[in-house]
Structure 1
C-alpha cells in the first residue's frame, strides 16, 4: 500500500534525509513539502529544502514556506548542530523549482480538504507551528487526516534543556495543540531517534552508491557527525527525522506503546517537556503511540535503497 504524506520540516541535516527517503521510496507518495522556522530561520530552511529537492531530482512536489516565528514564544534556532545555513557541510545547489506561492498552512489545508478523508498523513519533523495554525484555521482537517507522525519530545531527558527536546520547546503551545487534537498521533522522540545513528558502516554503504546524491548525503552526515560529537558527545549522529518517514515506508521499523502525552507550558525548569504517562497515573485517555524500539538495520536498508533509486532516477 502506498502512503500519501506531507512532510512539514525545517531542513536540517536529518530533515534532508527524511525528504530523500520519502521521495525515493516506492511505498510513499510525497504530495507536498512545507517548511517551518526551527533549526534555522524560515528563509534558510526553505532554501535548504529547495536545495535538497534539486540534488535529489524532486521536481514535481510543491514546496511552500510557512511560519517564521512560534505561536507565542521567542524564536529558537540550532546553529550549534546545523550550522549558520541550517544545512552546513555540502555545497548547496541552486533551486530547480519555484516556491509554491501559498503559505505552507494554506497548502496543508488545501491538500487535506481536497483529498478523500483518511488518505493523507502529516509528518512534522520540526516545530509544530504550521500544524497548529492549520488546525486553528480549518478545524475540519483533524477529522480528515489519516494520522500525524511527528519527531519531537522524549520520555527520559531533553536535548535543549534537561527536560525538553528542541522541536517541542521551540513552540510548546503548538505542540500542546497537536497532542490534544482528536486524531491519531505517533510521537517519535529522542528515546527512539538516538537509536538511529549513522555509523561508519552506514556511511560507507551510502558512499558506495557513488552518485552526486550519495556524495551529498555523505557530506551531510560528516558535518552532522562532527557537531554531534562536539556538542553532545555522540560517536555517530542520530538521524532523528528519518524515523518518522520510515514508519510509513514499513511499520515494522519501530515499536510503539500507547500513552497519554501532555506538554508542559508553565514549568520553571520543565517548559517544553513531554509528560508521558504509560501507566495511567494521571487518569487521562491515551492520546499517542510513543515510539520505543527501533529496527536499525531496516531503517538504513530502506534509506540506502531510496538514495540508490533517486540516484538512478527511478523514483521521485
Structure 2
C-alpha cells in the first residue's frame, strides 16, 4: 500500500526537485495533496510553481492548495537571491493543466486529517506556517499525523543568519508550535543536506537522461547553485528538500538521533535558531529525531532512477 502523505512546500528550486522525486513514485507515495506557503518566494509564485511542476510531471491528478501568505507574527522574508524572482529561475516550465483548488490549505489539512482512515505522514519543505495554524485551529488533528518529516534547522551554522536556517527563521513561532505539539518529528538539518551536493558531473548526468524532468532539474540546479557555491565554497549546490522525499522512499539512506529540540523566538541574534540538545545536556525528554548521517551517493542514484 502506498504511504498516504501531504507535501507542504514553498517551491523554490530544491522544492521542485523534491516534488519531481515524489511525483515519480505513485506506488510508494499516495500524495493526498500539495499545500503551498509563502517562503522562498511569495505565495502566488509558490502555488503557481507547484502547479507547473505537476504539469511537467504529468501529475495533474494531485490537488494543490494555497495556504498562508505570511508568517504568524513576523513580516515575510524570502530567498529570491537564491531561487530567483519567481522561485524557479533557470528554466521554463509548462503552464498549469489544473487550476489551484479553492479550499485554503489549512482547511484542507484539517479536513483531510480529520477524515483520514489511517494516520498521514506530512512532508514539510518550507516554513511551518500552514501546519501551525491548522494545529491551533484544530489541535485534535495531531493524533492523525503519523510523522512529520521536515527539512529545517541546523545543529551548527545557519544559512540565513549565523544561527538560523531559512525555513525555521521565516516563521520561528510556527515552528515552535509544531515542536511543542507532541507529534513525532524527523528533522533533516543543514548539517545533513550540505553533504548532498550537485556537482557539475551530476548536472551533466541529469542532462544525459534526455528526459523533460532531467533537463529541467539540471537547468534549475545550475542557476540555483551559483550563490550557494560562492558563499560556502562548496563543490556544488546542496539539495535540501529532496532529502525529505528520499527518506520516505529509502529510509536506510539516513540515520537519526533522538534529541530535545526547541526554537529560539526571542533573541535578536539567534531568532529562528533550532536549539538541538545533541548530547542531552538539558535532560529534557526527546521531542524530535534529528538526522545524524546521509548516504549522498544513494540519494543521487535514487534521483537518477526516478528522473
Structure-2-length-normalised TM-score: 0.97
What secondary structure sits across from 1:216 in the alignment?
Answer: helix
Partner of 1:60: 61
2:15 counterpart of 1:36: no
Alignment-derived partner of residue 94 in structure 1:
95
Aligned twin of 2:72: 71
Higher relative contact order (CA 8 A, sep 6+): 1
Q: Deviations over 1:73-95 (max 9, x none)?
A: 01100111011111111013211
Is 1:10 aligned with 2:14? no
**Paired residue for 2:110?**
109
CA contact (8 A) 2:153 2:167 kept: yes
* 1: CA distance, partners of 2:232 / 2:10: 20
Q: Once structures 1 and 2 are overlaid, which stretch shifts more, 170-179 or 200-209?
A: 200-209
1:20 paired residue number:
20
Distance in 2 of aligned mates of 1:230 and 1:51? 29
**Is 1:173 matched up with 2:173?**
yes
Aligned residues between the structures: 306
In 2, Cα distance between equivalents of 1:153 and 1:67: 20
Describe the superposition over 1:179-206 as per-residue Cα deviations: whole angstroms up to 9, x where unpaired.
1111100111100110111122322222
Residue 50 of structure 1: how far off its partner (Å): 1.0
Aligned-partner SS, 1:140:
helix
In the aligned structure 2, how far is the partner of 1:248 from the partner of 1:92? Answer: 26
Answer with 130-139 or 208-217: which moved more: 208-217
Asked if the contact 1:225/1:237 (under 8 Å) is kept, the reply is yes
Note if 1:51 corresponds to 2:59: no
Give the secondary-structure state (helix, strand or coil) at the position aligned to 1:22.
helix
For the Cα contact (< 8 Å) 2:20–2:213, is it kept in 1? no
Q: CA deviation at 1:161?
A: 0.6
For the residues of structure 1 that align with 2:287 and 2:30, how far apart are their CA atoms?
26
8 A Cα contact 1:22 1:29, kept in partner: no
Q: Contact 1:143–1:182 at 8 Å: present in 2 too?
A: no
Q: Deviations over 1:33-56 (max 9, x none)?
A: 110000000001111111111111
Residue 125 of structure 1: aligned partner: 125
2:154 paired residue number: 154
- 1:67–1:129 contact (8 Å) kept in structure 2: yes
Distance 1:278 1:38 in 2: 28
Aligned to 2:6, what secondary structure does the other structure show?
strand
Q: Distance in 1 between matches of 2:240 and 2:150?
A: 10
Which residue number in structure 2 is paired with residue 212 of structure 1?
212
Q: Tell me the TM-score normalized by structure 1.
A: 0.94
Residue 202 of structure 1 aligns to a residue whose secondary structure is helix
Structure-2 separation of matches of 1:202 and 1:4? 31
Unmatched runs of 5 consecutive residues or more in structure 2: none
Q: CA RMSD in A?
A: 1.2
Runs of 4+ more than 4 Å apart: none
Aligned to 1:163: 163
**Could you say what secondary structure the match of 2:139 adopts?**
coil
- Aligned residues of 1:117 and 1:143 also touching (Cα < 8 A): no
